[in-house]
Structure formats: C-alpha cells, structure tokens
Amino acid sequence: MGTLRKNGSYFDNLDDLDRQIIAIFKANGRASNQKIAQRLGLSAAAVGARVRRLENDRLLKVVLVTDFSVEGCELLLSLGINALNRDPRIVAREIAELPQIFSCSLMSGRYNIEALVALADVDSLKDFIERDLASIDGIGDVRVEIVVDMLKYEFDVVPFTR
Amino acid sequence: MSRPQIDQIDREIIGHLSKDARITNRAVAEILGVTEGTIRARLKRLMEARLIRFTALTNMSRLGAMRVLFIRIKAELRKVRQVADQIARMDEIKCAIVITGPHNILAMGPFDDFDNGGVEAVTTRIGALDGVVSWETSITLEAVKYNVLTAKILNRQPAEDEESDD
C-alpha cells in the first residue's frame, strides 16, 4: 500500500492490487472474493482482507444502485434558492430534511443553494412548493427548472465526509 | 419515466441489498423465506431491465473536499439534443439533463481539490460544442445531502452466477 501523503489524492492511498479489485467491483459489485482471487492470483482470504481494509478506510463501498424508475418518480425538478436574512447553511439543512429532496448543496454562484427534487407526479408539485418548501424560514427567491429528459445521472464517487 | 414491473418481493430484495450489497443470495433467501434460485432469477431480471446495478463507490480524495461543478448551458433549441448527447458522453460528466428555463441543459461533474485544470478543460470543451450559445458555472461549497444510490442506469450489467462469499 502506498504511503498516505498528507496532501495525497485518493489514488495515492492505493496500490495496483487495490485498484484492480476496485475496477472489478465497479464492473460487477456481486463479484465474490473467490472469483476476484482467481483473476488476480491471490487467495480468497487475502482479497477479503484487502476489501475489508478498503471499506474500513472508506476508500471503497460496494453498493446496489437503483434506477430512478424504481422509486416511481415522474417529476424531477432542479431548484436554485437564495437564503434571505438567514444563514444559508441552516436553510440548506432544513431543505435537505424534506423527503422529496434528492440532493442539496451549498453553492458558489448565482444561488446559495441547489437542490434536486423527485416528486411522484405533477399533483405533488403544489404541496411541495406551497406547503413543504414554504414552511422553511428564510427562503428568498426560488428558481424552478423542470427536468425534461435525463440523459445521464450516475455518480460513482462520494464526498469523503458524510 | 414509466413505472416498471416490480412486485413486493423485488422491493424486499432491493431493500436488503441496498443496506448491504455484499450479502449472499442465500442470506437474502433465508430472510424472505424463498429459494436461492428465486433471488438469483429476480436479480438477473432486475439487472437486465436496468433497474438495478451492483457497483463500487470510491472516494475522490482523503483530505481535500469533493466538489461538484454545475454547468448550465444555453443551446440553440434545435441542437439541444445533439449538444446534450455529446456532453453525456464525456467521462468527467456524471449528470446531463435537459431542463426548462433560461438554460436548456444542466451538466454536473465531480472533482477534487487536486484537480489540475480538469474543470477548465471540460468547461472549454463544452463551450466549444456546435450549438452552444452560452453557459454559466457554479461549484458546490458543501454537499448537504448527496444521494448516489439512485441513478439513471445506462448500461445493462451482465448478471453472472456469482455472489459475495463473506
């Protein structure tokens, strides 16, 4: 394993075998330790130990990703929000707690806060805007963009602090 | 987005594997009181229908914060689809959606503090695409809520007869 440099990027913490294991999991998250071991010429126990280390160091997480359609969300919105007379970090946290909010970030740029919203259908829009979003103090202006078509949405990296 | 054919057992299988993607088919079968073959067959069908995908998430950076660049693009209306397709094919871009409003396309790409000019390069490439009129960028300062477990699954994952064994 490479040394953990103080300012090292993610990949400095991995050696070649780690990278190969990660590549196998990226292609097939159901790969067994046995199968990986056969491909890399290691023992299954050695693969298991590496996988545990990578997971404990939060360098790897094998997950099941589900498609948007499984949730049955018919309407996706992108919101741009400016906080008014209130700390945008607090406003963003309160927005993030709404169950319809899929992702929420504090931003540099024209808006303080960007959020993606997944709604079951058009009928849920009124309640979301007038009841849920409006219950939060300190929301100045809101820009609502409707998602017409999603061509790609597949993030495979996660922020280190969660 | 049309509603897919998913029944209660599918949902329970997805629920258990969402909590821990490496539990064995046998373990899921025991919890749900069905056969291992049922789990295998249903996972195969769900994967082939591009409803689920097993993959690996990685961290970009141990110490530097991960950021996401948002690029909003205004494109000539008749070229929106063509521009969006080209953006979606860029490896650095993880999200490409067509939207209503002053801009036609929203693209996102994650990067870290050791980026070395990748953000500039991708923005320049998008700006140079035929049909792009203007664009606007913004960058996340902090991800407050971040969901990577729901996605638009583009590529069908081959269902192999293998599973986790630890």
- Do B24 and B77 lie in a common domain? no
- Do B44 and B96 lie in a common domain? no
Q: What is the mean pLDDT of residues A11-39?
A: 88
CATH number reported for the structural domain that contains residue B92 in this entry: 3.30.70.920
Q: What is the mean pLDDT of residues B148-156?
A: 84
CATH number reported for the structural domain that contains residue B42 in this entry: 1.10.10.10
- Nearest CB to A154 within list B143, B145, B154: B154
B133 domain residue, yes or no: yes
- Do B73 and B134 lie in a common domain? yes
- Do B93 and B124 lie in a common domain? yes
- Interval A75-94: pLDDT, tens: 999 999 999 999 999 999 99
B164 interaction partners in chain A (CB closer than 8 Å): 30-33
- Do B134 and B91 lie in a common domain? yes
Number of structural domains (chain B) is 2
A11-20, A62-71, B77-86, range with the lowest pLDDT: A11-20
A36-40, A111-115, A154-158, B11-15, range with the lowest pLDDT: A154-158
Please report, in angstroms and rounded to a whole number, the separation of the first and last CA atoms in chain A. 25
Residue B11 Cα, gap to closest chain A Cα (Å): 9
Q: What is the mean pLDDT of residues B29-35?
A: 96
Tell me the C-alpha to C-alpha distance, in Å, between residue A94 and each of A83, A89, A105, A132: 12, 9, 12, 10
- Do B39 and B76 lie in a common domain? no
Q: Which two tokens stand for residue A79?
A: 């919101």
B163 domain residue, yes or no: no
What pLDDT, on a 0 to 100 scale, did the predictor assign at position A3? 35
Q: Which two tokens stand for residue B91?
A: 């490896």
Is A74 touching B (CB cutoff 8 A)?
yes
What pLDDT, on a 0 to 100 scale, did the predictor assign at position A71? 81
B150 domain residue, yes or no: no
B117 domain residue, yes or no: yes
- The vertex-B35 CA angle with B30 and B39, nearest 5°, equals 90
| Mean pLDDT, chain A, integer | 87
pLDDT at residue A157 tops 80: no
- Interval A42-79: pLDDT, tens: 999 999 999 999 988 888 889 999 998 888 888 999 99
For chain A, which domains are there?
10-56 (1.10.10.10), 68-146 (3.30.70.920)
Cβ–Cβ gap B106/A78 under 8 Å: yes
- Do B32 and B87 lie in a common domain? no
Is A32 touching B (CB cutoff 8 A)?
yes
B41 domain residue, yes or no: yes
- How much is the pTM? 0.84
What pLDDT, on a 0 to 100 scale, did the predictor assign at position A12? 62
Q: What is the mean pLDDT of residues B32-36?
A: 96
H helix count then E strand count, chain A: 6, 6
Residue A129 Cα, gap to closest chain B Cα (Å): 17
B155 domain residue, yes or no: no
Quote the domain boundaries for residue B91. 66-139
What pLDDT, on a 0 to 100 scale, did the predictor assign at position A10? 56
Q: What is the mean pLDDT of residues A97-125?
A: 93
What pLDDT, on a 0 to 100 scale, did the predictor assign at position A14? 81
Task: Identify the residue with better confidence: A53 or B157.
Answer: A53
CA B62 to chain centre: 22
At A29, phi and psi to the nearest 5?
-70, -10
Query: Of A141, A153, A156, which to mutate for an interface test with B (greatest number of B Cβ within 10 Å)?
Result: A153
- Nearest CB to B144 within list A92, A108, A155: A92
B104 domain residue, yes or no: yes
What pLDDT, on a 0 to 100 scale, did the predictor assign at position A161? 45
A52-56, B93-97, B160-164, range with the lowest pLDDT: B160-164
**Calculated CA dihedral for residues A75, A98, B57, B50, nearest 10 degrees:** -30
B159 domain residue, yes or no: no
In the sheet that holds B150-151, the strands lie side by side as A157-158, B52-59, A60-67, B150-151
Cβ–Cβ gap A143/B101 under 8 Å: yes
pLDDT at residue B115 tops 90: no
Q: What is the ipTM of this complex?
A: 0.84
Closest CA to A1 of A15, A11, A12: A15
At A116, phi and psi to the nearest 5?
-105, 135
What pLDDT, on a 0 to 100 scale, did the predictor assign at position B157? 78
What pLDDT, on a 0 to 100 scale, did the predictor assign at position B65? 66
